[in-house]
Amino acid sequence: MEERNEYTASFIKVLEGLEGVRKRPAMYIGSTGEEGLHHLLLEVVDNSIDEAMAGFCDRIVVTLHKDGRISVLDNGRGIPPDIHPKYGVSGIELALTRLHAGGKFEGKAYQVSGGLHGVGISVVNALSEHLIVEVYRDGKKYYQEFSRGKPLTRLKVSDDGEGKRGTYIEFKPDSEIFETVEFNPEKVKRRLLELSFLNKGLRIVFIDELSDRREEYFFEGGILSYLREIVKEKEPLFEPIYFNEDGEEYFFEFAFVYTKTQKGENLSFVNSIKTLEGGTHLSGFKSGLTKFLNEESKKFNILKEGESFVWDDVSDGLFSIINIRIREPQFEGQTKTKLGNTWVRKEVEKVVHHNLILILEKNPSLLKNILKRVEIAKRAREAARKAREVVRKKALFDETLPGKLADCSENDPKKSELFIVEGDSAGGSAKQGRDRVTQAILPLRGKILNAMKSSVAKLVENEEIKSIIASLGTGILEDFDITKLRYDKIIIMTDADVDGSHIKTLLLAFFWKYARELIEEGHIYVALPPLYRLKVGREVKYLYSDEELSKEMEKIREEGKRFMITRFKGLGEMNPDDLFNTTMDPKKRILKRVTILDAMRAEEIISILMGEKVEPRKRFIEDHALEVKDLDV
């Protein structure tokens, strides 16, 4: 095989030009919203990760700059700067200006890669207002600037690269393309932390200039360290199990553990790319583990004759990480969220089954504990199914709308919205101030049940939950049907205090567990009511934070004007006009669309604050005590 160290421009193969990227960006990055914006960064980072997986890079620095730029620096081999023999331009310019131009198509420069589509860096360039590339190779520094996919300068060469190697990409996303050009530091941090776990020995530095924060991630334990971090508050039943298989065409590694919690999580990765929709590697793991446990259950007489475990039983409380590296992965979709290579499923199933025999048959007590945990889940699943059959007619299929729902007159769900409001007082103001044609109001009394701890039977006996289910019209769990949704927007409207935040969190947890598709399809929103009404002369302003108030007060003091401030302690204190004008009027209001990350965070908070373990709750309160501005006692 040709030596991989001999990485030159001749390895870069061009399939087609950049046509259409700016016209149809969603085809390449999924969307032009926040997800697509972050996908740009991940494409650049993935190139550096590919260098790390090839063994040529052990340090990556990602910086969020104050002016909206973001940069990625690695100490890999650097994009080849020599002139391509066929196209007559440098490898740097070729990689940045031609779609499907990269060193990953023939397997010479890279054995495995996450960026196999070859569209990454050129698409980033096409969708950036400005992009700078610096390459350090052989004591030289190569520099070039681009704008919206086109070169602004020719490739400049200097002797400033002595003692350096690698690639530096700095870009500013194009505001003409994206709905937002502000990166979410927490989202970036989560992905970088994840990548550091997936690549043993790789050091990743994250610098956020906006908050003057610098963090460094380095984990020798790899996915085992990652799994321990995930389950540290979940009460694991044993030390996580880890095994791997290094073949000629692949590298597989697995880590898993059972916990006392009901809900588990199964993360899967291919060449350091997170496969959100799973794929053949995850399917192979599921079938391999299920097959093994069914075989062992017969040996221990765990199940009755004719019974067997299904994945819903096996996955209860199971946390696992599957990380594989293969040549030429085939992903379903441009954004690489599902692996499609058919041979992987069979190979993974065989590896999992074989290694579990080697590990667990030598530890029968651990094996029996796992089987008992899965058997309990099976019985609970069957009991829950029977309970649901009993309550379905009573609650889920009751099409009678709740009496306290003030429905709207519009029959088209796409033009209608439902406000779930905290308290009868706020509900009364909302009913009076609303647009009766398109806005429905459902007031809630007090806190709803905790969906993470309550059984389905208990949950649907709760009047508030029954009202929500009946108002939505979709049903829940396996009876959920999004085509029956009565409102396009479901808006949670609570007070801006501790109790309001608690109710909002409980509602998000309910939707996450029982009607997740509403979140996935973008139907759940949170209203942001104002904290203050500021009257200066005849002018009235509504302010949504203490920071906004401070800025306005500075202006008022400088101008010496008279003013009057009203602090809203709750929605119920606002008159109907104020409530509509600030929080309900589609032309003026501020709504926050709830994402999967928001819902997962709500579940995490509930697990910490309402779980049985005291220490995590104490630590959470101590960590967040200074964030509490107004505490009702």
> Which residues are catalytic, by number?
422, 495, 497, 499
Structure tokens given for 538: 């005849």
* Amino acid at position 170, single letter: E
**Sequential DSSP letters for 13-44:** B-----TTTTTSTHHHHS-SSHHHHHHHHHHH
Q: CA–CA distance from 547 to each of 212, 291, 326 (Å)?
A: 19, 57, 50
Structure tokens given for 244: 């791997």
**Sequential DSSP letters for 173-232:** E-TTT-S-----HHHHHHHHHHHHHHSTT-EEEEEETTTTEEEEE--TTTHHHHHHHHHT
**Beta-bridge partner residues of 443:** 421
- Residue 38: partners with Cβ closer than 8 Å, 6 or more residues away: 183, 184, 187, 188, 191
- The alpha carbon dihedral of 452, 457, 460, 461 has a sign of negative
Cα–Cα distance, 88 to 267 (Å, whole number): 44
**Beta-bridge partner residues of 242:** 255
Cα–Cα distance, 408 to 397 (Å, whole number): 21
Cα–Cα distance, 392 to 350 (Å, whole number): 41
Closest CA to 531 of 573, 559, 492, 499: 573
Cα angle value 292/293/296 (rounded, 5°): 90
